[in-house]
Amino acid sequence: MVAVPSYLLRVELEDRPGRLGSLAVALGSVGADILSLDVVERGAGYAVDDLVVELPVGAMPDAIITAAESLTGVYVDTIRPHTGLLEAHRELELIDHIAAARRAARLQVLADEAPRILRVGWCTVVRLTESGIQRIVGSPGAPETQAESAPWLPLTHAEALDATEDWVPQVWRDMDTTLAAAPLGDPGTAVVLGRPGGPAFRPSEVARLGYLAGIVTTILK
C-alpha cells in the first residue's frame, strides 16, 4: 500500500469568522484533506495555526501553498513533511511519561519525546561547566556536531536564541535551524530545541517551552 503523504502547514490568517472555513475549501479544491488543527498564536486581528494536511499520492505540496495564498489575508509561513497527527493535551502526556520514568532516565525521556510534542526537529539538555558546555542528553535527531560554547548561559527564562551568532555551529546555520531554550532546574542547565528549516519560534511557543520546563524541573527534584 502506498503511503499517503501528509504535511504540517503553518499559516497566518485574518482572525475573523469564516476565514478558516474558506481556507478548508481552498485546500479541498486541490485534493488536500485537513486532518487536525492547532492554534499556535492569536494576536490583534490575526491567528497563526498549524494544520496537518493530507495530499493525494502524486500531488505536489506547492499546490497547498498556492491554494492557501489564493485567499486574501492568508500567508503560508512554512510547510514540511509530517509523520503523525497533532495530539490534544500533548504536554500533559509528556509530563506523565517523565514522571513515570526512572529518575535516571527522566531527562532522556524529555529529550526523546519533546520533538514530537513541541513540533521541533531535535531536543538536547545542556549544562554549563568550568570546561565549557556539556550535552547531558539528546534526542535521536540531535545533531552530531555540538556547540563548543553557550554565551547565552546562564539562562533565567525561556527565550528564542539568535541562530546567526558565532557560537552556533556552521552546520546548524547551513540547515537554517531556529533555536529556543529554557532553564531546567538552575540557570546553568537548559533544555534546547532545534527546528531545522524553521519556522521561527513564536512568543507563544517560547512561553509554552518555559511552562513545560518549569513543570519538568519540579518533577526532577
Residue 145 lies in a domain: yes
DSSP state letters, 65-133:
HHHHTTSTTEEEEEEEE--S---TTHHHHHHHHHHHS-GGGHHHHHHHHHHHHHT-SEEEEEEEETTEE
Distance between CA atoms of residues 182 and 58, nearest Å: 41
Residue 1 lies in a domain: no
**Is the same domain home to 117 and 192?**
yes
Write the pLDDT tens digit of every residue in 3-12. 678 888 999 9
**Is the same domain home to 109 and 211?**
yes
Residue 150 lies in a domain: yes
pTM: 0.73
**Is the same domain home to 77 and 10?**
yes
**Is the same domain home to 40 and 145?**
no
**Cα separations (Å) of 170 from 139, 140, 145, 146, 193?**
20, 20, 9, 10, 17
Write the pLDDT tens digit of every residue in 58-112. 888 899 999 999 999 999 998 988 765 445 456 778 888 898 999 999 999 999 9
